[in-house]
Amino acid sequence: MKREICSKLAVIMAAMLTTSTALGASSEDAVGRQLASEQAPSASMDTVWQGLTLEQGTRLIGGDLVPLMHVRLQWDGELLDWLRESYSADSAVDEHYLDDTVASVTMPDGKAALSFLSWEGNGFFRNVLVADGETVTLYRTPTGSANRDGIPMFEQALGITLPTTAYADSELEYAARRADNNDLAGLSASEARSPLAASGFGTYLGSFDGVSIYSNGSNGYDSKQSNYYNGYRTGLKWQCVEFTSRYFKAKFNRQIAGGNANSYYSSAFSKGLNRAPNGSSNKPRSGNLLCSAGNNSKGNVGHCAIIADVGSDSVKVVEQNWSNSTSDANKSHKLAMKAKKGKDGATRYTVSGFSGSYPIQGWMWPCSGQCREYK
């Protein structure tokens, strides 16, 4: 298939000019004030999108203050392939995507989509890439100080709830590290995170089934402080496995602490847990432990969460040390789930990853007799 490369800056500027002309001076002034006065992110000529541009435009939402951009491109490959060919994953490059923010999304009309955060010039963009036959449509809006109401308005316009991802740095923190830290070169965005805890360490975020959830401050922070529940050591404050271990102790009186999240699924039987691999005919249930070993990248020790709700096409989880915000506790982290009947007549369930860097291994629950794997 013939592929033409288009400059993102040209697309954005053309779209903004087209929209401003159509909307008139008042709307043009509104978006101009919002973006110019607050220094909206800007794309450079260095990064390109893959595919022949078929359509592009921008409309203003949220009281004419939030720009919703879209570009439709010719592309019949995988969404992740488009992302990797259009953006660098190297945080030292001026324009790149943040690999641990990549997550699968299902649009209201059932179309598959990919959500991701990108850094472009001097700020973040929130992106949703939607597959549609031999084309893809990229919806995007700047985030952060340039567009404070952007995310909720973006979600409302697209009719979706964006997955909560592991990245929680502010623009200033991220930009400062890119400018000052020579060790960033060649690292992925997730590896370039600050090792220091944010001021929110230990903040109470909420609870699930009566078990409290706390902020670790930032994903890479190691408190070196043990936590105990009724005299039982549940792990280091406030890692993901500390919460899941404390939950299983409080709810099931099971002692499963020990090891990083990437070892939990493989050690299920020794922890007294049944397990079901992703794609199993055993449907996940509320209270199950959902695990990922990560993607084998440097420093990725996996992630675990507790399934809070199970729907027909998704599961919602609660967790620690993911966003380190109240969304860790309010069930806003939603993972798509596909149910497909196999040749044997059994319906099999596949849950999308916590993000692109954290594919799901499977789910676990306490054994009532001999522990086993349910395929």
Topology of domain 196-366, per CATH? endopeptidase fold (from Nostoc punctiforme) (3.90.1720)
Using 50, 70 and 90 to split pLDDT, how confident is the model at 1?
very low
Domain boundaries, the chain: 6-177, 196-366
Question: What is the separation of C-alpha 198 from the centre of its chain, rounded to a whole number of angstroms?
Answer: 20
Mean pLDDT of 101-129: 87
Decide: helix, strand or coil at residue 52.
Answer: coil
Output the pTM of the full model.
0.51
Instruction: Judge whether residue 265 has pLDDT over 80.
Output: yes
Instruction: Judge whether residue 35 has pLDDT over 50.
Output: no
What is the predicted pLDDT for the residue at 247? Answer: 97
Task: Give 88's DSSP letter.
Answer: B
Instruction: Judge whether residue 135 has pLDDT over 70.
Output: yes
* Integer angstrom CA distances of residue 265 from 159, 258, 269, 270: 34, 12, 9, 10
pLDDT digits (tens, 9 = 90+) for 313-329: 999 999 999 988 888 99
Mean pLDDT of 338-350: 92
The more confident residue out of 104 and 232 is: 232
Dihedrals φ, ψ of 146, to 5°?
A: -75, -15
Residue 123 · residue 144 · CB < 8 Å: yes
Using 50, 70 and 90 to split pLDDT, how confident is the model at 165?
low
Instruction: Judge whether residue 370 has pLDDT over 70.
Output: yes
Q: Where are the alpha helices (DSSP H) in 150-209?
A: 150-158, 171-180
User: What is the dotted CATH code of the domain comprising 6-177?
Assistant: 3.40.1000
Poorest-pLDDT segment among 20-34, 37-51, 192-206: 20-34
Instruction: Judge whether residue 278 has pLDDT over 90.
Output: yes
Tokens (6 digits) for 111: 């179309």
